Structure 1
Amino acid sequence: MPASTSARADPHHDAKPRRRVGRPAAAVLDQAGITAAALQLIGKSGYDGFTMAALARTLNVAPSALYNHVSSKRDVLVLVQDHLASLVDVSAFEAEPWERAVRAWAWSYRDVFSQHTPLIPVIAVLPVTDAPKTLAMYEAVSAGFSRAGFPQGRIVSAIVALESFIFGSAYDVTAPADIFDSGSMAESTPNFTAAVQAQDLESYGKPADVAFNLGLEAMIARFGALRG
């Protein structure tokens, strides 16, 4: 049989290689993927379980591939910090009165970190160097304070004070509902037990929200008195 006839008879002759389907053998790494995997790992195992080797396993890549994108654990934490900061709403500082802007920012900040409490001890003391989204958040808040006539020398201290309250309140969101149940000690702690039972939850419904609102409004009132 002529070669040309044989070629026509073979259905695979001159056919282009078929493209493989399904997941690639190795994960395609980028900052967004690394950040998402780090959040997943820390949420599951806590900060103590967060290592570069564990992160590489989560991403299904070799540690060497991971180090091509980030040089250290700190670099990953900066990515995580920046991602969470980008979720905090600071838009009210552009258009709303100072009190409303601080209120909106603080509630948003608390809600974001209440979903990621294992990260609070780390991020609370992590420098903001090389974290553009975090710095953008602080810039927006600082500008809002400045426009409202807040003394420049007190702005950072005010932000730190608010953050300390916000981070603690984020933990409170995840606390068990019976955290203040005095149980068998109720008779020996009558004042505290009565105060727990008398909590006014009508405004917000959740003890954590009531406490956060009370503390935040007190801080806003005090800081507001410092404005020029």
Structure 2
Amino acid sequence: MPAVSAAEGRSTSIGGAQRRRAGRPSAAVLDKSGITAAALELVRRKGYDGLTMAALAKVLDVAPSALYNHVASKQDVLLLVEDHLMSLVDVSGFGGGSWEDAVCTWAWSYRDVFAEHTPLIPVIAVLPVTDAPQTLAMYETVSKGFLDAGFPRERIIPAIVALESFIFGSAYDVTAPEDIFDSGSMAGSTPYFTAAVRSAATGQDGTAPGPERGRQADAAFSLGLDALVSGLGALRG
């Protein structure tokens, strides 16, 4: 049987057509949406520290050099992730209706998005929005909504940052254990705190909360958001 040359070994012929050997896909099959999805999956499984360019290339089953054809650095990957997550935040309320309802819709959506991606909060919270189109579009819509509602222009960004600080912290609270405030053996020495914790968990009637009362994290978020919206609303002209 004649030997097959190295060039011939790289492909096989079917009906005269050349078929590429199985193996790593070429860089051309990569796109930014695929990189974003792979990065999110990597963070979900291994946390933010597990998101490296080498690990991302491995998840995508490509050589690192192929990945660098699409993103120049980990910072670029994070911008893609930020842009994707911000595109999921609901800003539709700012298209009509009251400012209060629009802010609440936005804030609840924002919290729920990041409650699903808490490892990224410390990064996204301080990541510049430069050249992130979806992120900037979200902030543009919210800023216009605040301006239309009568907010002084110089107070719009501080108000948004105040809300975001509360939103990010509340996203962590969603994943906190239900017994996070259990004082354990020190309950006797912390009677006011212990009684307050029990009251929050049971409500005024002293019974365990049913599904209609929702999670304690939701109750806390609703209380805090109402207070913020009320306080910020007083700043409007």
Q: TM-score of the superposition, structure 1-length normalised?
A: 0.89
Corresponding residue number in structure 2 for 1:67: 68
Corresponding residue number in structure 2 for 1:101: 102
| Distance (Å, rounded) in 2 between the aligned partners of 1:103 and 1:204 | 18
Residue type of the partner of 2:236? R
Unpaired runs of at least 5, structure 1 = 1-13
Q: Quote the offset at 1:18 in angstroms.
A: 8.0
Residue type of the partner of 2:15? A
| Distance (Å, rounded) in 2 between the aligned partners of 1:70 and 1:30 | 10
- Mapping of residues 7-18 of structure 1, within 5 Å: 15-17=15-17
Q: Quote the offset at 1:17 in angstroms.
A: 3.9
1:172 and 2:173 correspond: yes
**Contact 2:35-2:60 within 8 A present in 1 as well:** yes
Corresponding residue number in structure 1 for 2:189: 188
1:26 and 2:5 correspond: no
Corresponding residue number in structure 1 for 2:236: 227
| Poorly superposed stretches of 4+, deviation over 3 Å | 14-21, 200-204
- Mapping of residues 105-184 of structure 1, within 5 Å: 105-184=106-185
Q: Quote the offset at 1:55 in angstroms.
A: 0.6
Residue type of the partner of 1:42? V
**Contact 2:24-2:61 within 8 A present in 1 as well:** no
Residue type of the partner of 2:145? G
Q: Quote the offset at 1:188 in angstroms.
A: 1.1
SS of 1:70's equivalent in the other structure is coil
Q: Quote the offset at 1:130 in angstroms.
A: 0.8
Corresponding residue number in structure 1 for 2:86: 85
Unpaired runs of at least 5, structure 2 = 1-13, 204-208
Residue type of the partner of 2:57? A
Q: Which has the higher contact order (CA 8 A, sep 6+)?
A: 1
Judging changes above 3 Å, is the alpha-carbon distance between structure 1 residues 181 and 122 closer, same or farther for their aligned structure 2 residues?
same
Corresponding residue number in structure 2 for 1:4: none
| Distance (Å, rounded) in 1 between the aligned partners of 2:184 and 2:102 | 41
- Mapping of residues 186-225 of structure 1, within 5 Å: 186-199=187-200, 200=203, 204-225=213-234
Task: Name which of structure 1's ranges 203-212 and 107-116 shifts more when overlaid on structure 2.
Answer: 203-212
Q: Quote the offset at 1:16 in angstroms.
A: 4.0
